[in-house]
Amino acid sequence: MSAAFDLTSHFAKGLPDPAPRFPGFPKYNFVGGHNDPERIPIEGLIEATASVLRRDGSKLAMYNLAQGPQGYVGLRQMVADKLNRHRGMKITRDEVLVLTGSGQGIDIISRLFVDPGDTIILEEFCYAGAINRFKRVGANIVGVPLDEDGIRLDVLASTLEDLKKKGITPKYIYTIPTIQNPSGSIMPMERRQQLLALARQYGVAIFEDECYADLVWAGEAPPSLYSMDPKQVVHIGSFSKTLAPALRVGYAVSDWPVLSRMLACKTDSGTGALDQMIVAEYFANHFDRHVGALTNVLKEKLDTMIEAVEREFGTSAEMWKPKGGIFLWFKLPDSVDVRKLVKPAADAGIHFNPGPEWVCNPEPAKSYMRLCFALPSKEVIREGVAALAQVCYEQTGIPVRSANVQRRTA
């Protein structure tokens, strides 16, 4: 009998490592961009779905609802209205491209601007999904450090000058100026102006990611970079964090010469039409009320997590207290390598994001970690942080005190 055919021997080269089977969520799940399940407006979504299907449901018979590949007109209008009201833009729906999540926008923009070997500049602490996508297209990524107000312009200026001396013009600066991921900072207005001027001086485009910009604790953030210079900036955003991650709906904003090329690179036959219709119908009437209530809940959960980290880790934890969003980013003593905590924490039912996955240069970030506070309840946050501190102590001897009690070796 001949040996069974092995399909795996025919795989192409350079593929990512195989994905594991999904084991289900652990008891204490502090990873990813999940949101609060209690804040999903189920009844409102049911009403929105029924309403939009009664009105436009017959259009599902046609690709892109017979409205073209740029996206559902109702959603593009809703996005334009939202960005004009909250992000300082002056756009129409014609400048909006609907995406299957903002991650698709990162993929498309990378393909559009970056050839293998090209240089792009990132914030040193950065969205892991963006870092990995940029690496996959063969980009040379250069990280610039952050402070409490975002990317440091003094280091950015010296970086751009050093690259210029080598004959290198970066294709773009990728920045998350409003609720930076993972630090949660907001770039002030003056620094935004200086960033645009500096990028313009060196002939560099800006790729602005505002995935979390709607989730701000105190009032509104400064206007988007796109609103300040539409010719220099490409903008993306998402509804994953304001409504539901499982509704894969994001958007890009740019002038038509760029948007038309992005559209040509979007090869998915259109983002899910029903998802677009539901988001547009619900948020056209409920966006401000829904997001206001959601941010209140998230701020309370953040306060709970900060209190828990302070209680369980004490002075061993140096926190970047976010100004919005769903993540807490903090540092443990240099002697702690959080990568060595991943397995023992998982064995104890705890998942967290190790810092080296969220930076351009992994080794100096070995003592950082990111915790998502949006999904778990306050009780689970308290229990989970205590359990994480116990695992950390068992593996490293840190923290020596927890809940103001001296730990003892068993």
Residue 88 pLDDT exceeds 80 = yes
pLDDT band at 218 (very low <50, low <70, confident <90, very high): confident
**CATH topology assigned to domain 42-287:** Aspartate Aminotransferase; domain 2 (3.40.640)
What pLDDT does residue 402 have?
Answer: 60
**Domain ranges across the chain:** 23-40+289-406, 42-287
User: Residue 42 pLDDT > 70, yes or no?
Assistant: yes
In this prediction, residue 406 carries a pLDDT of 58
Neighbours of 245 (CB within 10 A): 16
Cα of first residue to Cα of last residue in the chain, in angstroms, is 58
State CA 111 to chain mean position distance.
19
Across the range 63-86, mean pLDDT stands at 94
Is the model more confident about 286 or about 406? Answer: 286
Evaluate if residue 49 carries a pLDDT over 70: yes
Which residues are within 8 A (CB) of 230 and not within 5 positions of it... i.e. 6 or more apart?
89, 91, 254, 255
Q: Do domains 23-40+289-406 and 42-287 have the same CATH topology?
A: no
CATH 3.90.600.10 fits domain 23-40+289-406: no
User: What's the mean pLDDT in 114-122?
Assistant: 96
- In this predicted structure, the answer to whether residue 145 has a pLDDT above a threshold of 80 is yes
Q: List the structure tokens of 352.
A: 């967290």
Mean pLDDT of 361-390: 95
Task: Name the pLDDT band for 2 (thresholds 50, 70, 90).
Answer: low
pLDDT at 357: 94
pLDDT at position 213:
95
Rounded average pLDDT over 96-122: 95
Give the DSSP H or E segment for 353.
strand 353-354
Question: How confident is the model over 151-162, as a mean pLDDT?
Answer: 97
Other residues' Cβ atoms within 10 Å of the Cβ of residue 22: 6
Calculate the alpha carbon distances from 148 to 49, 178, 196, 208, 258 in Å: 42, 12, 19, 18, 32
